[in-house]
């Protein structure tokens, strides 16, 4: 059957790693966890000058490791300190009654280093009516 598919390219269904902010809470899509190798913890880095966030796989016993809560569709950090450090990089719109602001950034995966970097300058914010 291989000869039948000569010249074809398999379509990659994975989404890019994505950081999402809703109501001042952050989460990462499941593909972020997949690209980091399904870690039980990450080390979170922020560069306030460049407004970048980096995630690196870690062991729960590593210094400054933040446990993650793994869900099927997204992962969240189990530490408010890391979340607040990330949120400080954003000037989020005030909540409007009946609407939700959603900010997201696609990250860049550096596979050889096991790091994903999200750059806040590429953040996109949409305000959507609640349903």
pLDDT per position as a tens digit, 94-117: 778 888 889 999 999 998 999 999
**Within 13 Å of residue 18, how many CA atoms lie on the same side as its CB?**
15
Q: What digits encode the pLDDT tens for the residues 20-63?
A: 998 778 999 999 998 999 899 999 999 999 999 999 999 999 99
- Stretch 4-20: mean pLDDT: 84
pLDDT of residue 92: 81
Distances (CA, A) of 34 to 9, 49, 51, 61, 62: 22, 29, 24, 21, 20
Cβ atoms 73, 20 nearer than 8 A: no
CB 102 within 8 A of CB 74: no
Strands (E), 1-131: 18-22, 25-29, 41-47, 52-58, 65-70, 74-77, 99-106, 108-110, 115-119, 124-129
For range 62-81, the mean pLDDT: 86
Pick the range with the lowest mean pLDDT from 57-66, 68-77, 84-93.
68-77
């Amino acid at each position: 059957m291989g000869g039948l598919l000569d010249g074809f390219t398999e379509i990659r269904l994975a989404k890019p790693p994505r950081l999402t902010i809703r109501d001042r809470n952050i989460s990462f899509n499941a593909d972020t966890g997949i690209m980091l190798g399904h870690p039980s913890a990450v080390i979170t880095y922020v560069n306030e000058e460049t407004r970048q966030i980096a995630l690196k796989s870690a062991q729960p016993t590593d210094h400054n490791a933040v446990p993650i809560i793994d869900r099927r569709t997204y992962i969240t950090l189990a530490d408010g300190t890391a979340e607040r450090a990330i949120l400080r990089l954003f000037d989020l719109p005030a909540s409007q009654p009946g609407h939700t602001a959603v900010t997201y950034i696609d990250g860049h995966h550096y596979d050889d280093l096991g790091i994903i970097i999200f750059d806040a300058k590429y953040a996109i914010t949409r305000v959507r009516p609640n349903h």
